[in-house]
Structures are given as structure tokens and as C-alpha cells.
Amino acid sequence: MSLIAALVAVPLIAAVLLMLFRSESQRNVITIAAAAITGVTAVAFAVQYLFVGHVSFALPQETSYIATWVFTAIDIVLCAVILWHAVRYKNRLALVLGLVQTVGVIAFANMTLSEGAGHMLPEPLYSDQLSVIMVLIVGLVGSAICVYALGYMHDFQHHEPAGAPDRRHFFSALMFIFLSAMFVIVLSDNLEWLFTGWEITTVCSFLMIGYTRTDEAIKNSFRQINLNMIGGLAFLAALIMLHFGGIELSLAAFIETASTTQAAVLIFPILLLSVAGLTKAAQMPFHSWLLGAMVAPTPTSALLHSSTMVKAGVFLLVKLAPVYMVFPAASIMVVTVGGVTFVLCSFMAISQSNAKRVLAYSTIANLGLIAACAGVGIAEAAWAAVFLIIFHTVSKSILFLCVGTVEHRIGSRNIEDMDGLFSRLPRLTRFMMLGILGMFVAPFGMLISKWATLVSFAETGNVVFLILLAFGSAATFFFWAKWLGKLAGVAQKAENVEAGVHRSEWFAIGSIAVLMLACCLGLPAISLGVVSPYLEATFGSNPQFLGVDNMLIMAVIVAFIAIVFLTPWGRASKKRRVEVYLGGTCTDPDSRRFHGSMGRTMTSTKRNWYMQDIFPEHALTNVGVIVCLGIILMAFAACFIFNTDVLTGGTFYVERLPRLVGPGLPGLLLGVVVFAVCAPVVGCLLDGLDRKVSAHMQGRVGPKLLQPYYDVRKLLAKEQASVNAVDEAYITCAIIFCLLAGGMFISGSNLLMCVFLVTLATLFVIIASYSARSPFADTGADRECLQVMSYEPMLLIMTVGFFGATQSFDTASLLTLEQPMIISLIPIFLGLLFILTIKLRKSPFDYSYSHHAHQELVKGITTEMEGRTLAKVEIMHWCETVLFLMWVGMFFIWDNPISFVVALAVVALTWFFEVFIDNNSARTKWQFGLKYAWLVALVAGVINLFYMLITPFI
């Protein structure tokens, strides 16, 4: 109990001291001391209560009564702050909403406080594993952001107009009040107290967004307060309805009541609390306030997007997750709003060149994914939601802090201006790249979280969200990969401007980076020791998603990637440095100037691909607002249309817990060795046969069968030269991940991880290409990102179909089937054949890399690669070819030895068909490839998954 008091009191005391002692030196001492004490207290709290489970803390009812009076007074003061600003800036909507909330707060207080101390909750505070996780998030990440603000706000004040008042003490005080309010939210079982913390974060964010007092800041701050007051009023209305319904104003009691005969009383309150959570989590149609928050100083953005404010919204939704299994209208509303927000905001992030807007849309999208998981209401989805909260917090906070520091160093937050940043801000750029990888790449926690999300929606038969997840994930890859590529570009001559970064900024960024890696490496321990006990106590089940062997492999991969990005590994190359290809004599590789064939000096320019015409922000926003608002209104309308038996009848799903039948760690390692030895040999022979068959189709004499081997051997013997010292290191990573993916497949391990590792390997090839800063290589890398976005939905749908057919993600389960998967997965198989042309790099979809000189003289993504690096690319292509053809063959494997012969015959026919297509079709436009790859995935996915996942309900 004393630790809870310290968690709430220390930030408040710090806020008071910051308002009293305003000099910079005093502010630094107070901030560092308060952040250190808060962080240590949060860790001490976690250690004390982590393994205890749910613990309620009793208070004398007189004390609770006084505390409730204090919280009520705070509510009224907050309303007064809103009304004063509304009058001052003549914002009528804020004035009306503020008056309504003031009347509501006073009326509600009159209802509860007039009953006296005897009606107070005897145990108003609590701790469970989820609250412990949130305490650590707020205490560690939030405190680090407060420390970061010291250096950042020093530079921020320096860039303010001359004569501008120094209000940094006020800004720092607001940050600590934020932290205190978040502790109240995550530790209060008393819904009245939780509501007060809820409203404190709303008003503090309003003041922080409007900190600069510019017209834009004032406008966006009022957008935030107006939208969040809608959520606050929904929360308040829910409390009033609960009071009139005779339900104890306890979060635990609320959840318990859902399983009793009083469940009907909760129909409207659960909808209202869900709206409050969706509003705070910036879900459509309320999302615009979070975009407007970008005008605030970066520490505000980091707090709002990572450890506070929006996390309060999803925290409430996750706490309510068990209730959603009882109330289908609320469940459908939360799942659908979250899913639509996820996919549309992922699309809109593609069209943004402002780094903060990319981060904002990414935040909203990920919060949508978390909200959708919470809305499902089963243990598997809640597991995914908790881990999405953890990894989103650490990754996104790193990114916001890095972007803020970069903005002060280069004077821009535009992604295009970050070209060559790897050379100008090397350490900072590596941290930013690590944060980006943490957001969307296996194995940084997101793989397992998405895997659990797929399982949970497969269990509930939610085909629509599975499709949304597949397409949203593909869009996520595109916008993160092209930003990562822009950061990866290595300039040959660039001034290092990192010396001006403050120590407080380095401390915060470094601390959170360490925390992120610790979370990734410790994922098995977090799952078994923290999340699983919470799910066991809350849902009565403990989902097992991946075997320990797979988790260990992932931990090793995380450590390996961290070494690649955070150390000089692979960069101390003795290769001869050469200039990039520019279509003439290069005069300055960094500025891309060259002498052209006509004797003129020209500059080649290249910028990222934002696809505003395909993913228009304004149109997608309108669609999202209309759809999500309609869903919310329909959910409330359902309460008047259907009777209470339907509204409290619960959601239905078929138990589809995944079977873990993988080979274990020794078998997995053996599979990797076998694949690493055999795949290059088989792939080389297939490549040689491809050339001979192609030559025969074209009426000429082809090369020898082993010509690909001789070509690679010549590449290995060439003089080693490169445009930079990093591309070969990235290609080495790519081939390692490709071999690991193939080994996992043939050993019978996890198919979904295999698919994600293939994507990870492709990502490293893309980074290697971008690192050259060559216009032609950049174009090839852009095309490769586009192709990944094109085929990724089909691959995710394939894994869901595999799970539906085998009730496992382990390929070893194929040997237990009574009949081949193709019988139930014909549409998905046909979809795989369509995108296989992309994966095998065949016409008409070989946009990024072509083997054939008659199609393209400049080879796109490999333009700047030569010698040993290019040889590794070829070997990787051989291995990929073998793996992709094995994906085709797995559809024909079942518990019969003859199945391997059938599968081999189908693979041979498929390979010949792909060669035939390659030699008889011209390259199409990329628009054609994207449109039809997505159309095929959509049709195949909807038809096949609907049949597979819905049939058990009929």
C-alpha cells in the first residue's frame, strides 16, 4: 500500500517543486531525482506483487470517503479549467461539453457522496499482473521520457522566438502529473477514482498540446479536448447508470456482475465504457485528436503515444475483455472499429512523408489491433493484446524520442531529409532503425502477437478481421520498410552532427532500447511468469502459442539483429570502394551528380514512394469515420431492437487451440543444417534447368545445366568492391534468415514463423539495396517493398488456412492428416500459385529483380551489388525457390508415403508452368500486380476461410 502511495505522490511532489523552483539547474535536479525514484518504486512494486496475483488493498471507509471528496474536487477543478479556456478562446463546443460534464460530475457526486462513508468501497485499490505491467510501462518508460525532455526542451526553447516566455517548468510539471494520473488509472478498482485519473490525462494533454499557444496548437488542443470529453461523458454516463442499477462502482464487481442474473443492467454501461476506451485510444471516428497532437513538443507525443493517454484507453478495453464474451453488441463494435481503424490507418501511413504523422497513424493502427484483440474476449486474444501493448510502448517511444532529436539536429522531421542520416547521426540512426524493426519485424514480439491474433480470430470464426489483419500487416511492411531504407543509406562523405545531442536524451533513448531488447529476449519468461497467470485468473485458461524451442530461436535472432545494428559488425570491410551507377561519370556520389552522355553535369534525384493516389488520406479518413460511426450507432441501436436474452447471450466460437507438434530444438537445428546443405544444390540445378527449358522455348541452344554454379563461382573469384561497407553484411543476414526459414519448414516447425522469416530475409535485401543510395537500386528496393505488400496478404491467409486444416501451425502436423489439405484449400492454393510468380521473380511480376537481359538492362535491387555480395544473393534465390516450391507441395501431403510422390509431381508441374508463364508474358505495370494480387488474396481468402471457419458454427 505504501508503494502505491509513493507511485502517486512522488510525481505530484515533483510537479509542485517544478512550479516552485524554475531555474534550469533546479529543474534538472528535481526531474532526474523524481524520475529515478518513480522508476525504482515501480520496479519495487513489480517485484513485490508480480507473483502474488490479484491483491486488493483495503482502506478505512472514512479515508476512502475523504479521498472521494478530493477526487470530486479535482473533477470540478478540471471542468473549471476547460470552461475557462473555452471562454478565453471562444470555443463554443468545448463550452457546451464542459458545462454538461460539470453538471454531470456535480450530480453524480451528489448521488454517491450523500450516501455517506458507509457506502465506500472497502478495497478501492488493487494489483494484478496486468496492472504491474502498466506500472512498469508508466514508471520506466514515462520517467525516461521526462528525463529526455530536459535536453529536448533546452533546444526547443532555444528555437522559440526571441522574448518568448520560458514555461518549461510548467511543461515538466504537467508530465509528472500525467504519470501520477496513469498510476491512479491502472491501480484503482474504484471506478470513480479511475474516472478522475482518466480526466486528468485528458486535461493535461490538452494543456501540453497547446503549450506553444500558436493558432495551430490551440486549434488542435481543442480538437483533443472536445473529442475526449465525448469519451469522458460516456464514462460518466456509465457510472451514473451503474449507480442507478445498484451495481457496486468497482471494476472487479463490474466484471463479476456480467456472469450473474444482473448482466442485463450492464448492456448500456459496457457500450459506454467501450466508447470511452475507443475515444481515449484514438480510434475512428475519434482519431483526429492524436494526429493534431503532433504540433506539441516531442516529449508530449512520446507520452501520449507510448506510456500514457492512449494506453489508458486500451488498458480499460483489455480489463473489460472477459465481459465482451457476454455482450455480443459491445464485442462486435469494439472488434470492428479496431479492425477498420487498423487497416485504414495502416494504408494512410503509406502516404505520409512527415515522420511524426507516420508514427501517429502507426500508433492509431496498432491501438486498433489491440482494441480488436480485447473485443474478442478470449484468453488468446487478450494475450496478444497485452504483448502488443508492451512492444508498441517500447518501440514507439524510441522512435518518437529519436525523431525529436533528429528534428533538432537537421531542422526537419521529413523522411526525405533523413537521407544519409546513417552517416550524419550514426548512433541515433541505429537506435531508430532498431525501433522500426521492433514495430513490424519478427522476432521483436510482433510476430508472436500477430500469431496469437490470428489464432484468436480463427477460433472465433471472424473472417472479416482476418482479412483486415492480412492487408493491414502488408501495408505496415511497406511504410516501415521504405522509411528504414531511407535511414540505411550510407553517404561516403558526411559531417557527423551527433555531438550536440544532450546526455539526458542519450540516457532516455539508450535506456528504452535496453528495455526493448530485454522484453524481446525475456519474452518466454514474461509470458510464463506474468501474462499466463493473469489469463489463468481472469479467463480460466492459459494459452500455449509457441514451443520453448521456437522462443529460444527468436531470442537468438533478436540478439543477432541487435549486434548487426548496434555494433560495427560487418562494416570494417577491406573492399575497394566504388561509385554508384548514375548513367554517366559520377562526380559526387553523395549528391548524385554525374556527367551525362551529352557532356552536361546533371543530378539524379530519388525520393520515397508515397502512393497518395492509391491511398488518399482524405478519402480513407471519410470512409473510416462514416463506417466506424455507423458501427457505434448500430451497436447502441441494437439495444432497442433485440431483447436482453440476445444482448447478453454471449459470442460463440469453436475451440481451436493450436496443437504443438514441432520437432523440438534439436530437430529444428538439424533441419536448418539439412536445408543449408541441400537447398543450394537443388536450387542451382533448378536454375540451370530453367535456363535450358527457357532456351528451348525461345528456339536457341541453352547453357550447361551447371552454368549457374559457374556464374556464382566467377562472382566469388572477382575482386571485392562495393559502394559501401554494409551491403554484404545485410545480405549475409538475409541468407541466414532464409536458411533458418527453410530449416524450420522441413523440420516440421512453425509455418507462420517460416513465412515471417522469409519476409525478414527480404527486408535485409531491401536495406542492403537502399544503403547504396543509388537511384536505380532505390527504385528496385521500392519495387521490392511493393511486391512484398502485394503478396504478403496471400501468405498470411495461407497460414490461417493451414491452421484451419491442421489445427496447428507446425508443418509436422501434415503427416497426421487423413487427406491432403488441397481438398479443403483449393482457393487458397490457387491464390498461392498466383503470387508464386512474384516470389520466384518471374514475368509478368519481376519488377524489382530480373534474371533476363531482354527485360531490363539495369537489374534494379542488385544494381550496386557485385562479386561476393551478388553471389550470396543468387544462392539465396536458389534457396527461396526450393522453399516456395515446398510450400506448393505441402498442400498434397498427408498420412501416406505415396503423398510425397504426388507432391513432387505437382511441384514439378508448377515449376514448369511458372517457367512457361515467364517466357510467354511481358512485364505488366506495378498497378496491375498490386491490384490483382490483392484481389486474388481477397477472393480466395473470403471464400476459403468463410467456408472453413464458419462451417463449424452451422
Q: What is the mean pLDDT of residues 791-806?
A: 90
Whether the CB-CB separation of 82 and 229 falls below 8 Å is answered with yes
pLDDT at position 630 is 95
Whether the CB-CB separation of 315 and 185 falls below 8 Å is answered with yes
pLDDT at position 570 is 61
Residues in Cβ contact with 667 at an 8 Å cutoff, skipping those fewer than 6 apart: 747, 748, 749
What is the 8-class DSSP label of residue 303? Answer: I
Residues in Cβ contact with 133 at an 8 Å cutoff, skipping those fewer than 6 apart: 386, 389, 390, 530, 531
Q: Tell me how far apart the 2 most distant CA atoms of the chain are, in Å.
A: 97
Closest CA to 551 of 621, 479, 447: 447
- Does an H or E element contain 923, and which? none
Cis peptide bond upstream of 793, omega within 30: no
pLDDT at position 643 is 86
pLDDT beyond 60 at 851: no
Q: What is the pLDDT of residues 89-109, one digit of tens each?
A: 999 999 999 999 999 999 998
Q: How far apart are CA 404 and CA 301, in angstroms?
A: 9
Closest CA to 54 of 538, 380, 524: 538
Q: How far apart are CA 887 and CA 867, in angstroms?
A: 31
Whether the CB-CB separation of 28 and 40 falls below 8 Å is answered with no
Q: Is the dihedral of CA 465, 466, 467, 470 positive or negative?
A: positive
Q: What is the pLDDT of residues 114-161, one digit of tens each?
A: 777 767 788 889 999 999 999 999 999 999 999 999 988 888 877 777
- Measured in degrees and rounded to the nearest 5, phi and psi for residue 722 equal -160, 155
**Helix axes of 267-280 and 191-209: crossing angle, nearest 10 degrees:** 30
pLDDT beyond 80 at 606: no
Nearest-5° Cα angle at 781, 776 to 786:
125
Q: How far apart are CA 314 and CA 372, in angstroms?
A: 10
Q: How far apart are CA 464 and CA 217, in angstroms?
A: 38
Whether the CB-CB separation of 382 and 535 falls below 8 Å is answered with yes
Higher pLDDT, 710 or 648: 710
Q: What is the mean pLDDT of residues 360-366?
A: 90
Q: How far apart are CA 340 and CA 283, in angstroms?
A: 9
Q: What is the mean pLDDT of residues 825-835?
A: 93
pLDDT at position 653 is 63
- Region of 540 on the Ramachandran plot (φ > 0 left; ψ -120 to 50 alpha; else beta): left
Question: Parallel, antiparallel, or unpaired: how do β-strands 593-595 and 601-603 relate?
Answer: antiparallel
Q: What is the mean pLDDT of residues 326-355?
A: 92
Q: How far apart are CA 677 and CA 688, in angstroms?
A: 18
* Other CB atoms within 10 Å distance of the CB of residue 900: 12
What is the 8-class DSSP label of residue 579? Answer: P
Give percent above pLDDT 70 in the chain.
94
Whether the CB-CB separation of 173 and 211 falls below 8 Å is answered with no
Average pLDDT over the chain reads 86
pLDDT at position 307 is 58
pLDDT beyond 80 at 884: yes
Q: What is the pLDDT of residues 634-651, one digit of tens each?
A: 999 998 888 888 888 777
What is the 8-class DSSP label of residue 190? Answer: B
pLDDT at position 854 is 42
Higher pLDDT, 441 or 518: 518
pLDDT at position 853 is 44
Q: How far apart are CA 454 and CA 803, in angstroms?
A: 10
Confidence at 794, pLDDT banded by 50, 70, 90: very high
- Does an H or E element contain 148, and which? helix 143-158
DSSP 77-144: HHHHHHHHHHHHTT-HHHHHHHHHHHHHHHHHHHHHHTT-GGGS-S--EEE-HHHHHHHHIIIIIIHH
Q: Is the dihedral of CA 449, 455, 457, 459 positive or negative?
A: negative
pLDDT at position 855 is 46
* Cell triple for 182: 496513469
pLDDT beyond 90 at 12: yes
The alpha carbons of the chain give a radius of gyration, in whole angstroms, of 29
* Cell triple for 935: 484481389
Nearest-5° Cα angle at 545, 539 to 550:
150
pLDDT beyond 70 at 296: yes
Q: What is the pLDDT of residues 155-199, one digit of tens each?
A: 887 777 766 788 888 999 999 999 999 999 999 999 999 999 999
pLDDT at position 850 is 62
pLDDT at position 517 is 84
Mean pLDDT lowest among 314-318, 333-337, 523-527, 808-812: 523-527
Q: What is the mean pLDDT of residues 426-454?
A: 75
Distances (CA, A) of 774 to 391, 465, 734, 866: 33, 39, 20, 14
pLDDT at position 458 is 74
Mean pLDDT lowest among 433-437, 503-507, 785-789: 433-437
Residues in Cβ contact with 252 at an 8 Å cutoff, skipping those fewer than 6 apart: 56, 126, 189
Residues in Cβ contact with 511 at an 8 Å cutoff, skipping those fewer than 6 apart: 140, 144
pLDDT at position 273 is 95
Q: What is the pLDDT of residues 767-777, one digit of tens each?
A: 988 888 888 88
Q: What is the pLDDT of residues 220-264, one digit of tens each?
A: 999 999 999 999 999 999 999 998 888 888 888 888 888 888 888
Whether the CB-CB separation of 884 and 836 falls below 8 Å is answered with yes
* Other CB atoms within 10 Å distance of the CB of residue 723: 24
pLDDT at position 491 is 74
Alpha carbon 412 to its chain centroid, in Å, reads 24
Place of cell 532498431: 434
Confidence at 272, pLDDT banded by 50, 70, 90: very high
* Cell triple for 405: 532529436
Q: Is the dihedral of CA 80, 85, 88, 89 positive or negative?
A: negative
Distances (CA, A) of 917 to 683, 790, 799, 911, 932: 19, 19, 26, 10, 16
Strand, coil or helix: 603: strand
pLDDT beyond 90 at 274: yes
